[in-house]
Amino acid sequence: MSDWTDWIGRNETRTDRLDPGLLARWCATLDRTLPADRTAPQGFHWCLGLPDAPTAGLGEDGHPLRDDSSASFLPPVPLPRRMWAGSSVEFLAPLPVGAAIARTSRVQSIKAKHGGSGQLVFVEVAHETQADGALAVREVQSIVYRDAAPSSAAAVPPLPGAGRFDPAPWAVVRTINPSEPLLFRYSALTFNSHRIHYDLPYASGVEGYRGLVVHGPLTATLLLDLARREFGDNALHAFSFRGLSPAVCGDALHLAMRRGDDGAVELGAFAEDGRQVMQASATH
């Protein structure tokens, strides 16, 4: 693996505006009403200040191409599979409709590791989102790059096993079946052209998934919406999540929440057989 020291500290700023039409489409995607106070719900910041590479500048996987030039924000890691592994988010202030948005991003760390599935490279990116000049959201995002799936490897995740998700330990549970239109709409809202979310032959034949993959931030957004149903809009001060296993389009996805012994909020997303898809926590 190359030395990407030169990329640590590299930064960029993207501007946007919190358009009421975009917020209306986001709420429609989640089958919820618009907030009465004209502020965006938590998780909406993932739709703002997005990379806007031209179509000709996309790689085979649908992500923007990376190279070793000074214009390339992310390092040109040669590993072909990329996933958003998790984030730690601080919500400092609500995002008002119509606000001018500036998102500044900085490459915080790059670490190469060797795991059971082969070579891994973790890139941490720190984001700060301002609304009308005031800091509103602070986040550290972890991106993982992985080796190609061996041609002999079984598809992931495995078919559901004999187990079953047990709702008993959880105070609040909501079950959904993520559909192709839901994945398509979320990809459109976040300008995400990663093919694992809409191109089944690519997702299964090239990257080795059992089906279309539910976006990690979509699952996180659904968990934030579960918290919103319990506590109200913009009630959380902090939220962190870590993806543990892919969620597959069409499979039942159980969203669960409870309070921990220390008063913090514990959240999780689970497949039908109890396999944990995402682990999350929050404070409010």
Alpha-carbon distance of 236 to 193, in angstroms, equals 29
In this predicted model, what pLDDT tens digit does every residue of 17-52 receive, in sequence order?
Answer: 999 999 999 999 999 999 999 999 999 999 999 999
Cβ pair 143, 85 in contact under 8 A? yes
Cα atoms in the 13 Å half-sphere on the side-chain side of 122: 13
- Predicted pLDDT of residue 153: 84
**pTM for the structure as a whole:** 0.95
Cβ pair 31, 118 in contact under 8 A? no
Confidence of residue 68 (pLDDT cuts 50, 70, 90): confident
Q: In this model, does residue 258 exceed pLDDT 80?
A: yes
Confidence of residue 56 (pLDDT cuts 50, 70, 90): very high
In this predicted model, what pLDDT tens digit does every residue of 174-195 receive, in sequence order?
Answer: 999 999 999 999 999 999 999 9
- Percent pLDDT > 90 in the chain is 83
In this predicted model, what pLDDT tens digit does every residue of 199-229 receive, in sequence order?
Answer: 999 999 999 999 999 999 999 999 999 999 9
- Predicted pLDDT of residue 151: 78
- Predicted pLDDT of residue 1: 56
Alpha-carbon distance of 86 to 70, in angstroms, equals 26
Q: What token pair was written down for 103?
A: 């998102």
Q: What token pair was written down for 141?
A: 């995002």
Alpha-carbon distance of 205 to 12, in angstroms, equals 35
Residue 6 contacts by C-beta under 8 Å, 6 or more apart in sequence? Answer: none
Alpha-carbon distance of 100 to 102, in angstroms, equals 7
Among 26-30, 87-91, 154-158, 268-272, the minimum mean pLDDT is found in 154-158
Alpha-carbon distance of 68 to 72, in angstroms, equals 7
- Residue 179 has a CB neighbour count (10 Å cut-off) of 12
Q: Beta partners for 138?
A: 90, 128
- Predicted pLDDT of residue 2: 67
- Predicted pLDDT of residue 32: 95
Cβ pair 182, 251 in contact under 8 A? no
In this predicted model, what pLDDT tens digit does every residue of 85-142 receive, in sequence order?
Answer: 999 999 999 999 999 999 999 999 999 988 776 789 999 999 999 999 999 999 999 9
Q: In this model, does residue 274 exceed pLDDT 90?
A: yes
